[in-house]
């Protein structure tokens, strides 16, 4: 496919007008002001007119529970602990493979529509999520969250649901003819895990060369109670048990202390900054400047829709950037190129995808196209700023992942969105009748 005469956000996250991008199979083969001649352009295939359009690298959602679309709006107005134990966990106990499949499909559709090309997911029934990702043509790092069974502090990994779930994921990925899905290991959180489980999961991740996904210090309650219970912060506890010894994505990190930041930096951990969820649940705001100054890499995540309540990556990036400027009382904190790097390259690196995260020759063709012929996108004095602070997700008119168009001009090309929505409505209605005595 040839994108012709289009403005691009380049590998340095600067706007370059009047460029041509040639995509071959799943990679970017050429970028330049001239249309490639000879053999390179003979098999260009479809030609896309880029007039009044901007090509942007796909975004990476570093923390999500995609199938929690089924719980959107459920458990509103509760603090995290009650939200989890009184609403989320009982509802999730009713979910099976088909439920998770359709919930994940709906979440993927939402992410595609708002600019994501890949996501990190921690949940259960994960082969069903993998199936949804595979069929959609999307990318993901998937993990089955591990926690102790029945609160047993000496629970071993092989005794947990997380072990069977992780092995199921590894078996599923072996059947695929592509590398769009990566399997990660995961510990849910300190307050749901014992030391034996953590040591086992850490050893398993090292043995199988897996990345790690974990919630850390999301709330003051979680952080302070861990210090009382363990005599140290969640970050230090996880570090001592080996959880951070493999490439790790740590979600939230709202309450981390200076020593925690040093530990995260020394272990090469990437923090997923999830502003909507943290604000909505009243958890606080992650100290991004301090984390960055300590040398910690940072990306963006949406969390699940039960606490967000959407998976709109563009909205998350815009909100996160503005919140940090406000918290720091500094309009210059986080330049547009830094924000793009957090949303794209940092996310790709955290997922172990070195050939993703930028529009660059040789990289995977993860390309969003924004239509700028809209009142709120004019004038185009600074295209990069317009994308980050003026654009709406409705301005995305094309989403290409790994060289395949998944969404174009209002139409999903790999998902039956009407079927997905109908099944989600049916599933949620059944669950609410069972749990609450009444349906939708």
Q: Which DSSP state fits 364?
A: B
Q: Distance between CA atoms of 183 and 210, rounded to whole angstroms? A: 7
Whether 314 and 170 map to the same domain: the answer is yes
Q: Which helix (H) or strand (E) holds 234?
A: helix 234-240
Per-residue model confidence (pLDDT) at position 150: 56
Whether 178 and 108 map to the same domain: the answer is yes
Structure tokens at 301: 């995540």
Whether 92 and 221 map to the same domain: the answer is yes
Whether 44 and 86 map to the same domain: the answer is no
**Last residue of some domain: 306, 323, 350?**
350
From start to end of 235-348, where are the E strands?
Answer: 248-252, 270-273, 297-300
Q: Distance between CA atoms of 356 and 78, rounded to whole angstroms? A: 38
CATH code of 387's domain: 2.30.40.10
Per-residue model confidence (pLDDT) at position 438: 87
Question: CA geometry: angle at 365 spanning 143 and 316, to 5°?
Answer: 55
The answer to whether residue 135 is domain-embedded is yes
Whether 323 and 205 map to the same domain: the answer is yes
Per-residue model confidence (pLDDT) at position 154: 75
Residue-number span of the structural domain to which 377 is assigned: 2-57+357-409
Task: Put residue 75 in one of left, alpha, beta given phi > 0 → left and psi -120 to 50 → alpha.
Answer: left
331 within 8 A of 255, measured Cβ to Cβ: no
Whether 396 and 293 map to the same domain: the answer is no
Whether 262 and 125 map to the same domain: the answer is yes
The answer to whether residue 64 is domain-embedded is yes
The answer to whether residue 417 is domain-embedded is no
Structure tokens at 81: 């602990």
Number of separate domains in the chain = 2
Whether 32 and 63 map to the same domain: the answer is no
The answer to whether residue 435 is domain-embedded is no
The answer to whether residue 429 is domain-embedded is no
CATH code of 125's domain: 3.20.20.140
Q: Distance between CA atoms of 145 and 135, rounded to whole angstroms? A: 23
Whether 126 and 36 map to the same domain: the answer is no
Structure tokens at 117: 């090309």
List the one residue out of 95, 188, 183 whose CA is nearest residue 134.
Answer: 183
Q: Distance between CA atoms of 169 and 205, rounded to whole angstroms? A: 13
Whether 338 and 364 map to the same domain: the answer is no
The answer to whether residue 438 is domain-embedded is no
Whether 63 and 48 map to the same domain: the answer is no
Dihedral of CA 198/199/200/203: which sign? positive
The pLDDT profile of the chain, 440 residues, written as one tens digit per residue, is 999 999 999 999 999 999 999 999 999 999 999 987 765 555 667 899 999 999 999 999 999 999 999 999 998 888 777 888 888 889 999 999 999 999 999 999 999 999 999 999 999 999 999 999 999 999 999 999 998 865 567 788 988 889 999 999 999 999 999 999 999 999 999 999 999 999 999 999 999 999 999 999 999 999 999 999 999 999 999 999 999 999 999 999 999 999 999 999 999 999 999 999 999 988 999 999 999 999 999 999 999 998 899 999 999 999 999 999 999 999 999 999 999 999 999 999 999 999 999 999 999 999 999 999 999 999 999 999 999 999 999 999 999 999 999 999 999 999 999 999 999 999 999 999 998 888 88
């Amino acid at each position: 496919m040839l994108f012709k005469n289009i403005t691009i956000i380049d590998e340095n996250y600067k706007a370059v007008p009047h460029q041509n991008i040639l995509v071959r199979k799943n990679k970017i083969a050429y970028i330049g002001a001239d249309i490639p001649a000879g053999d390179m352009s003979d098999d260009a295939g479809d030609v896309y007119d880029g007039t009044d359009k901007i090509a942007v690298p796909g975004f990476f959602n570093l923390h999500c529970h995609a199938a929690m679309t089924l719980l959107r709006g459920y458990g509103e107005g509760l603090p995290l602990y009650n939200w989890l134990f009184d609403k989320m966990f009982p509802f999730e106990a009713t979910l099976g493979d088909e439920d998770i499949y359709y919930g994940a499909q709906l979440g993927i559709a939402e992410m595609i529509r708002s600019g994501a090309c890949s996501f990190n997911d921690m949940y259960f029934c994960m082969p069903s999520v993998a199936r949804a990702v595979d069929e959609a043509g999307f990318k993901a790092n998937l993990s089955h969250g591990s926690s102790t069974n029945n609160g047993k502090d000496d629970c071993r990994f092989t005794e947990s649901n997380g072990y069977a779930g992780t092995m199921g994921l590894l078996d599923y990925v072996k059947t695929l003819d592509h590398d769009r899905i990566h399997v990660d290991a995961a510990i849910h959180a300190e307050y749901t895990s014992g030391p034996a489980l953590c040591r086992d999961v850490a050893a398993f991740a090292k043995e199988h060369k897996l990345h790690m996904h974990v919630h850390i210090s999301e709330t003051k309650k979680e952080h302070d109670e861990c210090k009382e219970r363990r005599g140290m912060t969640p970050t230090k506890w996880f570090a001592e048990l080996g959880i951070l010894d493999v490439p790790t994505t740590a979600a939230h990190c709202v309450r981390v202390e200076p020593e925690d930041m040093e530990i995260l930096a020394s272990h090469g951990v990437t923090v997923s900054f999830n502003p909507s969820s943290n604000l909505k649940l009243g958890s606080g705001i992650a100290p991004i400047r301090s984390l960055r100054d300590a040398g910690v890499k940072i990306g963006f995540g949406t969390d699940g829709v039960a606490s967000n309540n959407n998976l709109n990556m563009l909205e998350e990036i815009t909100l996160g950037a503005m919140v940090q400027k406000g918290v720091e009382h500094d309009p210059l904190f986080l330049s547009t190129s830094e924000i793009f790097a957090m949303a794209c390259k940092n996310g790709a690196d955290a997922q172990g995808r070195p050939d993703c995260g930028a529009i660059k020759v040789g990289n995977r063709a993860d390309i969003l196209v924004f239509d700028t012929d809209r009142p709120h996108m004019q004038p185009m004095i600074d295209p990069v700023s317009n994308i980050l602070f003026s654009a709406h997700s409705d301005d995305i008119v094309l989403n290409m992942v790994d060289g395949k168009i998944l969404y174009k001009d209002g139409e999903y090309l790999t998902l039956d969105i009407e079927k997905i929505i109908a099944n989600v409505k049916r599933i949620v209605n059944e669950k609410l009748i069972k749990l609450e005595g009444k349906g939708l």
